[in-house]
Amino acid sequence: MDIFHSLSKRILFFSLLLLHLLYAARADFNIATIPFNKGYYPLFGDNNVVRSSDDKSVNLVLNQYTGSGFKSSDLYNHGFFSAKIKLPSDYTAGIVVAFYTSNGDIFEKTHDELDFEFLGNIRGKRWRFQTNVYGNGSTSRGREERYYLWFDPSREFHRYSILWTSNNIIFYIDDVPIREIVRSDAMGGDFPSKPMSLYATIWDASNWATSGGKYKVNYKYAPFVAKFTDLALDGCAIDPIQDVLSTSCSKKDDQLESANYATITPKQRSAMKKFRQKYMYYSYCYDIIRYPIAPPECVIDPVERHQFKDTGRLNFGARRHRHDKIKVQVSSMRTYEDQQDED
C-alpha cells in the first residue's frame, strides 16, 4: 500500500508539473473578435448552423440528416485564425469537428490547407486530435501529427488558433504552442503560399475517425453540438479575382510577424516540448516507412526518435524503459493505445 501511495503521488506530481509548465507559458494575446455576420457565412447544413442572438457565437449541429459548417467571407493572404471551441459531449465516436484553412474550392489540384481535426471520443477515453499541413496539393506528403488532449474539451471552451505567415506556421491551444513549422527553401511549394479561407465543420466520419472506423456515430446521442465563440480573423483579405501574387499585403504581413503570437518565447518553447513529449503519439517526421528520408522541415531529435517506431507511432516499450518508476501509468496508457492503434 505504501508503494502504491508513493507511486500515485509521483504520478500526480509529474502531471501537475506539466500543467504548470503549459499554463506558465501562456501569453496574453491581443485578439480582436468579430461577430459572425462580419466575417463568416453558413457553408452547408444551414438549419444546423445556429447563431446566438448577439451574433458572437455559433453552434454547429450534426444530426441523422446532415452535419454543418461555416466559412470566412474572404480569403486571406496569411493570417491569425482563432476561436474558442467547446466540443460535443457524451459518446461522440465517428464524429469529426474541424477548424482549418483551405483554398481547395479554388485550387482543386494545387490546394493548401492547415488543419485542426478532433477525432471523436468514446466515453471515458481521452480525446484525440490531429494537425496537418498541405502545400500546393501535396496530399501524398501530408504532414500529420496526432496527439491526446490534456483536458476534456467538451466541459468548457478552449481557444484553438492557427498562425500562418510567410515564414512560419504555429498551432496553438489556449495560447500554448503545440506545433511549429518554419519555412525552408527545401520545402518549395509544400509550404502553403496561396490565399486561404477559414472553415469550421462537424460531420460524420464513421469510416475512419475513431479507431480506424471501428466505432461509428451513434445517433441515439444526437444532436451533436460543437460550440464556437470569440471568433477572430486577423489577416489581409484578398479578392480571389485579383492576382494572388499581389504585394498589397506586405504591411499586414509585417504586422502579423511582429505580433506577440508570431514569436515563441523560451517559456512557451519549453511548454511545447513538454506537450509533444507527453501527448504526441504519431509524427510523420519519424515515419521512416512512409518517408525513408524525413521531409526537409523535420528536426530529428535522437532522444525523441527513440520514443517512436518506424511507423511514426509512439513506442511505449521505450517510454516504459525510460520511466521505470511509473509502470502502472504506462501500462494503462499502453492498453488505451492498443485500442486506438487501428486509425
Length of the chain: 343
Within 13 Å of residue 301, how many CA atoms lie on the same side as its CB? 8
Per the residue annotation, which of 117, 144, 180, 257 is the catalytic one? 117
254: Cβ contacts below 8 Å, ≥ 6 apart = none
CA angle 299, 301, 307 (to 5 degrees): 125
86: Cβ contacts below 8 Å, ≥ 6 apart = 153, 154, 155, 156, 157, 158, 226, 227
Per the residue annotation, which of 108, 113, 156, 304 is the catalytic one? 113
- 162, 171 in Cβ contact below 8 A? yes
Residue 113 bears catalytic tag:
yes
Strand order in the sheet with 57-62: 49-51, 57-62, 224-238, 75-86, 158-164, 168-173, 176-182
Q: How far apart are CA 113 and CA 95, in angstroms?
A: 20
Distance of CA 307 to the CA centre of its chain: 21
Q: How far apart are CA 133 and CA 328, in angstroms?
A: 35
- 169, 161 in Cβ contact below 8 A? no
> What residues are annotated to the active site?
113, 117
